Amino acid sequence: MNEKRMSTLVKIDGNIEIPVLLRKGRPPRWPIRSMKPGDSFFTIDRNAKQAVSYAKRKGIGKFIARVVHEDGVKGYRVWRVE
């Protein structure tokens, strides 16, 4: 296309804010990034110790997972300790 025809098809705007990019992909499996020392979460997922390993690999903080029974349900509680 020549330049004259192109300018009639496209309007150039200035000072337009770039929208915030929304996170794509699946949501995080564990809420470890938003946890502060002393926070914990309970889950029945037996892979909860993966959250502890992930946090250690990524340098997010120190976490501990334990098997617990809450309201008659066997599960896992993960605490952020640092």
DSSP secondary structure of 63-74: EEEEEEEETTEE
Q: State the pTM of this model.
A: 0.66
Which pLDDT does position 46 carry in this prediction? 85
- The rounded distance, in Å, linking the Cα atoms of 64 and 7 is 62
B/e letters for 14-39, b = 16+ CB within 10 Å, e = fewer, are: eeeeeeeeeeeeeeeebebeebeeee
Spans of all domains in the chain: 25-80
Which pLDDT does position 20 carry in this prediction? 79
Which pLDDT does position 4 carry in this prediction? 58
Q: Give the mean pLDDT per block of 10 residues along the chain (82 residues).
A: 63 84 78 93 90 90 94 94 92
Which pLDDT does position 62 carry in this prediction? 93
